[in-house]
A and B are shown apart, each in its own frame.
Chain A
């Protein structure tokens, strides 16, 4: 063989070797799926996959770690020998699994958000009912504190829902429920009697006696219905005048003792016309009557009242404004009180009842809530 041929062959070998080396040094680009999967894992974590789909997410992370390991092994090889086919396949499978988990997490979150919103809607309806009841009562302070706190929590809940913080949102639902229960218990103590058909029947009988009294002697009789906040003057069994009235801070309760701010229920009569009184003109009634005294003594005997409790007195129908909150008296606007004062003589029977309406507004509101 000639030297020139050997030299040419050597040059060719060198050139080929150079090409091979250059080829090997070049880093083949990693498949895009690798980067996508790493980003996907972060996104899944941010979306709360570890919370909403913990088992699937752990399995997914395991598959990702295996795929990464294989990828790193491939990366250690010289470029020419790298084979990314399996890497691509592995990462594509990881991405598909990640996508499945993403949808699962989204579904779970949507379902949870739906549950929270539905529960919130129920609680809001309950809140509205209690709020309406609370504002309907003469003593509007009842349960307002709890309702105001519940309102704040509703606002907090909305913020958490907006942020997708369903755990906190759910905890607020529990707190709202508890506050509404407290508010309902307070209102129930006041309103239970107004929902009892037996109690309404008893009041109705008292009112019928008042009508009968007015009819039989063709005399004036005053009938006060506390729930409706109405004072009606009857003559000959028919309404002659009707006025809106204000009651005590605790006006819907039946008066039992001094300082309870309740308006008494029962059959009384006007025993004195007072002019001027602390609140314009006034008609003093004979509270406590015999029945009131009996009830008071029984309560004391049973230990419901302390030994120092007093039964109270000085219950009047007076002026000062129907919007006023009294300590148990029945209040009218001054102009109307002037008229009533002129009309009513001493000795006029006064009947005070809770309500006579078996479908009164409390029952109507509660029925609405049940619907």
Chain B
């Protein structure tokens, strides 16, 4: 009887050890979440969209695992810890990628801005030297006003660049470049009209 009592106590101690020693990996969860937040803060939602989505999915899977284990009598958080550690490492790797991507987008935006400005300057120079002959004066005045509109849009490109909206800046700059080229063609046609 004494032995039976001892065995029961021992059994309870073992059960207690199994169930209570395995604590939820809260520190690892916090670290993984912080690592993802850092990716987001580094503009990951713009420049590493897909990677950020995968990180969030992986974090969710790890949290599901933690949740599943917490409901078990014999909790084993080893796998969850591994998953969380991987999320953290992956997030750090993604964060490290972002500055290069931002730089790349910035350079593309600046290149497009320069191209737009060059196209604008070309149209303006053509317009300045266009002879205001018979049949062109009013056209030239209209084109000058068109260029004033483009100038306003060029300012918006700079505003977008200043706001680090490099994709938006690039799209706008390329559209301005196209319009400036169209105006330059109109000026050339007006000049040809005078020469005839």
On A, residues with C-beta under 8 Å from B are 45-46, 65, 68-69, 134-135, 138-142, 144-149, 151-153, 155-156, 159-160, 168, 246, 249, 321, 323-325, 333
Contact = CB atoms under 8 A, between A and B. Distances in A.
A156 B152 contact: no
A149 B152 contact: yes
Contacts of B152: 145, 149
A152 B150 contact: yes
Interface in B142-163: 142, 144-150, 152-153
Contacts of B175: 152-153, 155-156, 159
B101 interface: no
7 contacts: A139-B141, A140-B138, A141-B145, A144-B142, A151-B179, A325-B137, A325-B141
Contact of A69 (B64, B134, B146): B64
B136 interface: yes
Given A155-B175, A159-B174, A160-B171, A144 B68 contact: no
Majority DSSP secondary structure for residues of B touching A: helix
Nearest to B138: A140
A149 B146 CA distance: 8
B178 A140 contact: no
Given A145-B148, A148-B145, A152-B176, 15 more contacts: A46-B50, A65-B60, A140-B142, A141-B144, A141-B145, A144-B145, A144-B149, A147-B146, A148-B147, A148-B150, A148-B153, A149-B150, A156-B171, A160-B171, A325-B137
A146 B139 CA distance: 17
Closest 4 CB pairs of A and B: A148-B149, A144-B145, A140-B142, A155-B175
A155 B149 contact: no
B124 interface: no
A149 B174 CA distance: 13
Most chain B CB within a 10 A radius of its CB, from A68, A156, A168, A321: A156
The interface size bin for chain B is 20 to 34
A135 B60 CA distance: 60
Contacts of B176: 152
A155 B134 contact: no
Interface in B34-63: 50, 53, 60-61
Contact of B179 (A68, A141, A152): A152
Contacts of B142: 134-135, 140-141, 144
A145 B50 CA distance: 40
Contacts, number: 84
Contacts of B179: 148, 151-152, 155
Contacts of A333: 134
A46 B175 CA distance: 26
Contacts of A152: 149-150, 153, 172, 175-176, 179
B138 A325 contact: yes
Nearest to B175: A155
A212 B168 CA distance: 64
Contact of A148 (B60, B64, B137, B146): B146
A129 to B, nearest CB: 16
Contacts of A46: 50
A160 B136 CA distance: 36
A318 B168 CA distance: 51
Nearest to B50: A46
Nearest to B152: A149
A249 B142 CA distance: 11
A19 B145 CA distance: 88
A323 B142 CA distance: 12
A65 B58 CA distance: 12
B137 A146 contact: no
Contacts of A156: 171-172, 175
Nearest to A135: B142
A177 to B, nearest CB: 16
B134 A145 contact: no
B153 A149 contact: yes
A324 B136 CA distance: 9
Given A149-B153, A152-B176, A152-B179, A324 B147 contact: no
Contacts of A147: 146, 149
